[in-house]
Amino acid sequence: MKLGKRKTFSIIVLACLLAAATLFFHGNQEEVKADTDSVYKNIELFTEVLREVEKNYVEPQDPHKLIYGAIKGMVKSLDPHSSFMTKDEYQELMTETKGSFSGVGIEITIKDDVLTVVSPIEGTPAYKAGMKAGDRIIKIEGKSTKGMTLLDAVKNIRGPKGSEVELTVVRKGRNEPLTFKIKRDVIPLKSVRYHQLTPEIGYVRISNFQSHTTRDLKDALRKLETKGGLKGLVLDLRNNPGGLLSQAVKVSDLFLDEGVIVSTRGRNSAQNI
């Protein structure tokens, strides 16, 4: 009799667990289905708009550019630090972190939809001409930069060694635009510069973090130490736009004894570093 009751009770519990599992599974399926339906509806909306633009816009448009523009806009809307890069833009980034190029020697970005100088590279034609961080480039060779992509701006500013490029900029505190005619030259991508301020104090400037920054910094510190008893160091990172995270971490490791240098947190814990 007791055995029968125990069996009946076990069957009831098992049935309840199965029912709960079924409801949970069904609920999850409903949530997944709702998310999927929402995605498809948005894709349908995007497709409809794309078709309307292709059919009715006053001038023919390149579908490839339209789609890439939409992707860029989507990623840009996430936060100020997220961006989508095309193959050409990625190759440009790789060029900036190693090797050399022929140009005027400025780091540029798009800030508030305006082409802006992040920093002129020390010793380059742009630096010698007097360009400054924060200068807003409104024209390249007389052509407005409004709506110009960063990649197109870079291509227009760069050119053969010895050739000239005209840049028109707006500078804070100046009423009239400034025009610079700058002769292009080979720009070595050297990120570390150094000298001694006093016999015991060294100065190191890191303009950005490239593939050889840590190696060059170690070399600079070694040479400063051989010149005298180095007791202090000024590490100048002003107007440093960034670069390779791995190099920034290695540089930090040279000066920090212990502790976490950098960490990332994402939606999925497996992606955390």
- pLDDT band, residue 25 (cuts 50/70/90): low
Alpha helix segments (H runs only) across 57-202: 63-76, 87-96, 125-129, 150-157
Superfamily of structural domain 87-188: PDZ domain (2.30.42.10)
Tokens found for residue 241: 């736009």
Task: Give me the pLDDT at residue 14, please.
Answer: 44
What's the DSSP call for residue 188?
E
Whole-number percent of the chain with pLDDT over 90: 48
**Cβ atoms 73, 118 nearer than 8 A:** no
Task: Give me the pLDDT at residue 163, please.
Answer: 96
**Cβ atoms 118, 109 nearer than 8 A:** yes
Reduced to 3 states, what is the DSSP secondary structure of residue 235?
Answer: strand
Task: Give me the pLDDT at residue 29, please.
Answer: 56
Q: Span 57-78, mean pLDDT? A: 90
Q: Half-sphere exposure of 173 toward its Cβ, with a 13 Å CA cutoff?
A: 3
- pLDDT band, residue 105 (cuts 50/70/90): very high
**Which of 251, 182, 187, 177 lies closest to 214 in space, CA to CA?**
251
Ramachandran angles phi, psi of 106, nearest 5°: -130, 145
Task: Give me the pLDDT at residue 81, please.
Answer: 79
Tokens found for residue 160: 């053969």
For residues 184 and 164, what is the distance between their CA atoms, to the nearest angstrom?
6
Q: Span 83-94, mean pLDDT? A: 82
Name the least confident of 118-122, 172-176, 179-183, 265-269. 265-269
Task: Give me the pLDDT at residue 41, please.
Answer: 81
SS3 breakdown of the chain: % helix, strand, coil, rounded to 5? 45, 20, 35
Residues 129, 130, 134, 136, Cα dihedral to 10°: -50
